[in-house]
Amino acid sequence: MQKKITTTYFLAAALTLIGMPAIAATPGLWDGAAAPPPDSLRVPDQEMAQESFKYVPLSPVYFDNDKATITHEGQRSLDAAVAYLLQHDDIKRILVEGHTNEVGSEAYNYGLSERRAKIVRNYLTVKGVDPKLINPIGKGEQHPVDQNWTRDGRRRNQRVSIYAIHWER
């Protein structure tokens, strides 16, 4: 057990030194443990006591650099998400999480991620999704899915993630 912890520590330290802190700090990536769900997916204990849930990640919506406008590609992803959301009446919550890359200040990126989440919420609402179910939240640059030192990596981090939460009794 000690060898596994030491190996994990040194691997994380090495990745941090070469500029990969997002991978180094990802729980479960190196130690085999399951990564915890994002904070916005946590359900209050009183709701979990009598019910269980599953969350379904839908196709992400990608944005152009420093923009909060939906592209044609983004519209196709959102239309597919709308079709799924309208077909399932057991959805109790829809999480819309805006993300950015690391270009710009942390405060600016947080605001940009919030604007992205809200524009997606507005699109879903216009297409008929119940606005009371939608929880938009900006995450800023804190949860990258790829590295920020390449153009493709930064592009994949400029996204909105959508999760459909199904409650089951």
158/6 Cα distance (integer angstroms):
34
pLDDT mean for each 10 residues of the chain (169 residues): 46 49 44 52 56 83 92 95 94 94 91 96 96 94 85 88 86
Q: Residue 128: beta bridge partners? A: none
Supply the pLDDT for residue 30.
43
CATH of domain 37-168: 3.30.1330.60
Supply the pLDDT for residue 43.
59
Residues 6+ apart with CB under 8 A from 95: 40, 41, 55, 135, 137, 161, 162, 163, 165
Supply the pLDDT for residue 39.
61
**83 C-beta neighbours (distance < 10 Å), count:** 10
pTM of the model: 0.68
Residue spans per domain, the chain: 1-36, 37-168
Supply the pLDDT for residue 38.
60
